[in-house]
Amino acid sequence: MHLEYSDFKDILNIGIALSTEKNQNHLLTSILENGMRITNCDASTLYLYEDNKLLFKIMKTISMGVSRGVDGELIDDIPPVPMKEENVCAYTAIHREVVNIPDVYNSDRFDFSGPRQYDAITGYHTRSQLVIPLENSENELIGVLQLINAMDDEGNVIPFDEQYDIIIRSLGSIAAIELSNLNYVEALKAQLYSFVEALTTALDERTPYNASHTRNVEKYAALLADHITKMHEKGICEETFDSERKEKLQLAALLHDIGKMIVPLNVMNRATRLDSELSGVDARFELLKALYEIDMLRGRITEETYTETIAELASDLTFIHEVDSMGFLNDDNYERVHRIASKQHVDENGTVIPYLTGHETECLSIRRGTLTEKDREAMENHVVMTEKILDKVRFNQNYAMVPKWAASHHEFLNGTGYPKHLTADELDLETRILTVVDIYDALTASDRPYKKPMPKEKAFGILRSMAEEGKVELRLVEWLSEALAQDCIAG
């Protein structure tokens, strides 16, 4: 054999192909299969070096139809190769040498009892071997590639030509470098995800009323992304989510509420209109009862007036408790709140004690929910803070859109959302998905202090109404409904 330009060109083309591969198992399979193709051999085993031993990763034997580990399945029925020099693969790994054995049955250089035992069991005949160390650019051992039974054009087993050594070693070096790069990328990705998990955990621990929301949004977003991919396969949707795109969507879902870290807890945890401030109202009404009793004892009011006033106080306080946790405040109740707020006690020195403070009146006057306009502004500001916080994090080009998707989940297609009033042409599919699943979980959540969980059917009715108003995308609403139904069946 003579090395030709086409041989090196082939290696360069393989190197280019390997450099674009982002799946570790596909990369390893490509190393093995290209090594077999170049040397025209019948079998091969690829080992990875871990914990001072060589682990079986991929095995192929063309003539026997053996193919294991190609799809990432573990080869755990064969023990790892210990790093002992009598084993040819271990020797290659220890000394970083290419070892070429013309005929294992006529070699006493290494212990070949393993291949001979395998041959006896399977009927295979192992003869020639070419074993190559896989080292990266920092001379770190990544693994070993073992090629078995080179063949001539007629299919006869022959020794591996020594000139293959340089080609296969070049392939091994390129592959090892790419594998190391892939491992570095995975390590950086793991670091990024651990950082996100830490932030998410901190947010969840900050308030008991957000404990499952973030992870529910991630779960629903992933479920919807998978359903969209199914719709794409059926020709119904142009968009699709491969593992990488889905991963970025899930990352954005985990980060979407990170700005709530700065929302005051008295806003985040507001279970009722007054929440903890209700005890202050109770204490004030007790004080008022005492003051009116003093007024009666000092003759400032009659006993009859005192009795009527105390009964009125009790009625007003009972009403305040009812309004505090009321779902919706109608006009009559709103007016009564303000009538109570207009009442006050004035003692003989002119000291005025109002039944309700201005802030308490404002809280009790909330028509729906538990937040005042100021509180709502503070809550809605969390998306602005999400953007500011994530702006301080360095996302590489591959993840550059994640902060935008996370910070835009309260925008609507018709421009009526917040904070930037973006419109449909400015909102990516990822953002639209986050908006739909965020609303769905908010409606159906069982851990919100200010409302009961809504049935799924009613929640989807609201989402469909929002779609009719042009706020969210109807097909996403319907696909989420289908995905949840199928997930429920599968579960």
* Cis before 80? omega within 30: no
Q: Which of the four pLDDT bands, split at 50, 70 and 90, describes residue 447?
A: low
Rounded Cα gap, residues 453 and 442, in angstroms: 9
Contact 338, 365 (CB under 8 A): yes
Which tokens hold the place of 127? 């003869």
DSSP state, 440?
H
Residue 71: predicted pLDDT? 82
Instruction: Please state, rounded to an integer, the average pLDDT across all residues of the chain.
Output: 87
* pLDDT for residue 421: 95
Confidence of residue 231 (pLDDT cuts 50, 70, 90): very high
For range 151-162, the mean pLDDT: 92
Cβ atoms of 65 and 76 closer than 8 Å: no
pLDDT (average), residues 156-170 = 82
pLDDT tens across 317-356, in order?
Answer: 999 999 998 988 999 999 999 999 999 999 988 999 999 9
H helix or E strand, kind and range, residue 105:
none
What is the mean pLDDT of the segment spanning 220-244?
94
Q: Which residues contact 365 (CB under 8 A, 6 or more apart)?
A: 329, 334, 337, 338
pLDDT at 12 over 60: no
Confidence at residue 489, expressed as pLDDT on a 0 to 100 scale: 57
Question: Is residue 183 scored above 80 in pLDDT?
Answer: no
More confident residue, 272 or 435: 435
267 phi/psi in degrees, rounded to 5: -95, -45
| Strand ranges for 88-200 from DSSP E | 99-101, 129-135, 141-151, 157-158
- Pick from 227-241, 294-308, 370-384, 471-485: least confident: 370-384
CA angle 90, 94, 97 (to 5 degrees): 90
Give residue 19's pLDDT band: very low, low, confident or very high (50, 70, 90): low
| 357-415 pLDDT per residue, tens | 999 999 999 998 888 888 888 888 888 898 998 888 888 788 899 999 999 999 999 99
Distance CA 168, CA 174 (A): 10
Domains of the chain: 5-184 (3.30.450.40), 207-267+380-490 (1.10.3210.10), 275-369 (no CATH)
Please give the average per-residue pLDDT across 91-95, as a whole number: 95
HEC secondary structure over 106-126? HCCCCCCHHHHHHHHHHCCCC
The per-residue pLDDT for 1 is 46
pLDDT band at 15 (very low <50, low <70, confident <90, very high): low
Which one is predicted more confidently, 227 or 268? 227
Quote the tokens at residue 296. 């009666």
Residue 470's pLDDT band (cuts 50, 70, 90): very high
238 CB-contact burial (10 Å; exposed 0-12 / middle 13-18 / buried 19+): exposed
Q: Smallest Cα–Cα separation from 80: which of 55, 116, 44?
A: 55
Highest averaged pLDDT of the listed ranges 30-44, 125-139, 162-176, 220-234: 220-234
Q: Is the pLDDT of residue 3 over 50?
A: no
